Amino acid sequence: MAIVLGSNRYGKAENRVVRIYRDTGRHTIRDLNVSTALRGDFARAHTDGDQADVLPTDTQKNTAFAYAKEVGIASPEEYAVALGTRLLEAAPRATGAQVRVEEYAWDRIPVGEDDQGDGGGHDHSFVRRGTEVRTCVVTVEGRGDGREVQVLSGMEDLVVLKSTGSEFRGFLKDRYTTLEETTDRVLATSLTARWRWAGAHVLDGGTDMDAGYASVRQTLLSTFATTYSRALQETLYAMGRAVLETHQQIAEIRFSAPNKHHVLYDLERFGLDNDGEVFLADDRPYGLIEASVLRDDAPDAGSAWTDVRAFL
Ligand SMILES: O=c1[nH]c(=O)c2[nH]c(=O)[nH]c2[nH]1
């Protein structure tokens, strides 16, 4: 029997990179949490303590900040592709670089009587937007002409709720079933979604990734709003189909959706009726519904999903 090194990777996690564009008096801000990881032949660093092949995580951090200036952050995806490509070039023993980005959105603070927060707002004062976080994971493998780039875009914690238009009934029952069937319930989730672009050429082709994000987000939201739900599973599938139907460059979308149960509170004990008006928002346990929706001719995902947490 021998003991051997298994899979490994290393990088700098959670670089909080804030880039402000201040070329005019009207500033813009991109607020990122950037994690890098290199995979490849780094066995000697583990077995012999030999750092000859190791591009320090400190250098990876510096590159992340330098690239915020040198390359800029037109979109998280474009920045991540540039950063991943650079790290792979700088570390010859690496076979793959993965750059994960979370973006926190800031809105301009509405000021003045006419300003309803509709895109006007203050030039350089901002307020953080809700819980939702935009994400991307870019994986770069190979160099030069052989370079393969996979781009996942997505979001975490898009919290949505519908106060009717949702039922859950007809389910299996056994001796442990107590759940009552319902034809009118609250449906709420905190959606994590990631979608895979059909090829990195979407970036070369000048696809506006910010517009793409806004469009997928709107498709998810409007489908959630307008689809009658017989289960969260059905709603997720409808949302995924809608995204693929309206975005030809997206090959697949994956969801992880906690069912944020809203339990009708028993007010009978106080002589009050409760016709779907007062709920206990139960935070745990929660149903966890996960699904992927994809084209049957989707191009191979390669390493796109490798080490991407919370996905099947
Ligand atoms: O939308 C739902 N899907 C389920 O699978 C499930 N299971 C459950 O108890 N409630 C629900 N709701």
ipTM, 2 dp:
0.98
95: enclosing H helix or E strand: strand 94-108
Q: Which of 124, 146, 168 is the last residue of a domain?
A: 146
Question: Are 298 and 167 in the same domain?
Answer: yes
Q: What are phi and psi of 126, to 5 degrees?
A: -130, 155
Tell me whether the omega of the peptide bond preceding residue 92 falls within 30 degrees of 0, making it cis: no
* Inside any domain, residue 299: yes
Catalytic site includes residue 59: no
Neighbours of 199 (CB within 10 A): 16
Asked whether residue 4 is domain-assigned, the answer is: no
Counting from 1 in the atom list of ligand 1, the atom nearest the Cα of 261 is: 10
Q: State the closest ligand 1 atom to the C-alpha of 232, by its place in the atom list counted from 1.
A: 1
Phi/psi for 96 (5° steps) reads: -155, 145
State whether 142 and 215 are in the same domain.
Answer: no
Question: Does residue 5 lie within any of the structural domains?
Answer: no
- Quick check: is 162 catalytic? no
Instruction: Look at residue 126 and give its three-state secondary structure.
Output: strand
Same domain (yes/no): 63, 138: yes
Residue 151 falls within a domain, yes or no?
A: no
Given this model, what pLDDT does residue 272 score?
A: 98
Q: Which pTM does this prediction carry?
A: 0.92
User: Do the domain assignments include residue 70?
Assistant: yes
Nearest to 34, CA basis, from 53, 14, 11, 56: 14
Catalytic residue among 12, 61, 247, 262: 12
In a domain, 152, yes or no: no
DSSP string, 163-201: SSSB-B-S----TT--PPPBSS--EEEEEEEEEEES-TH
Asked whether the beta carbons of 37 and 14 are under 8 A apart, the reply is: no
**Please, are residues 258 and 191 in contact by the beta-carbon 8 Å criterion?**
no
Is the CB of residue 79 below 6 angstroms from any atom belonging to ligand 1? no
Residue 114, pLDDT score? 59
Domain count within the chain: 2
Cα separation, 215 vs 247, in Å, equals 9
Fill in the DSSP letter of residue 110: P
Q: Which of these, 50, 149, 153, 58, lies nearest to 96 by C-alpha position?
A: 149
| Statement to judge: residues 97 and 180 lie in one domain | no
CATH number of the domain enclosing 227: 3.10.270.10
Measured distance CA(306)–CA(94) in Å, rounded: 15
Distance CA(202)–CA(195), nearest Å, equals 13
DSSP class of 249: T
Report the separation in Å between the CA atom of 231 and the middle of ligand 1, taken as the mean of its atom positions.
6
Could you tell me if 163 and 229 are in contact, meaning their C-beta atoms sit under 8 angstroms apart?
no
Same domain, residue pair 123 and 168: no
Same domain, 133 and 167: no
Verify that 298 and 217 share a domain, yes or no: yes
Which portions of the chain are predicted below pLDDT 70?
Answer: 113-119, 200-202, 205, 310-312
Tell me, yes or no, whether 3 lies in a domain. no
pLDDT of residue 118: 57
Of the three residues 117, 146, 175, the one that is the final residue of a domain is 146
Residue 199 neighbours by CB under 8 Å, 6+ apart: 249, 299
Examine the domain organization and report whether 175 and 141 are in the same domain: no
Nearest CA to ligand 1 atom 12: 231
Three-state DSSP class for 29? Answer: strand
pLDDT at 309: 76
pLDDT of residue 120: 87
Q: Are 128 and 142 in contact (CB under 8 A)?
A: no
- What is the enclosing helix (H) or strand (E) of 239? helix 232-246
Asked if residues 12 and 63 have their Cβ atoms less than 8 Å apart, the reply is no
Residues comprising the chain, all counted: 312
The residue among 100, 121, 146 that closes a domain is: 146
Residues 175 and 254 in one domain: yes
Catalytic residue among 57, 59, 95, 227: 57
Reduce the DSSP state of residue 42 to 3 states and report it: coil
Which of 232, 236, 239, 282 is the pocket-test mutation for ligand 1 (most atoms within 8 Å of CB)? 232
Tell me: do 182 and 232 sit in the same domain: yes
Residues 71 and 201 in one domain: no
Ligand 1 atom 2: the closest Cα is on which residue?
A: 231
28 is catalytic: no
* Residue ranges making up the domain that contains 71: 10-146
The H or E element spanning position 62 is helix 57-70
Return the pLDDT at 310.
63
User: Is any atom of ligand 1 closer than 6 Å to the C-beta of 287?
Assistant: yes
Options 61, 260, 261, 262, the catalytic residue? 261
Q: Which atom of ligand 1 is nearest to the CA of 166?
A: 1
Do 161 and 260 fall within a single domain? yes
Please give the backbone phi and psi of residue 300, each rounded to the nearest 5 degrees, phi first.
-55, 140
Position 2 in a domain: no
Contacts of 58 (CB under 8 A, 6+ apart): 12
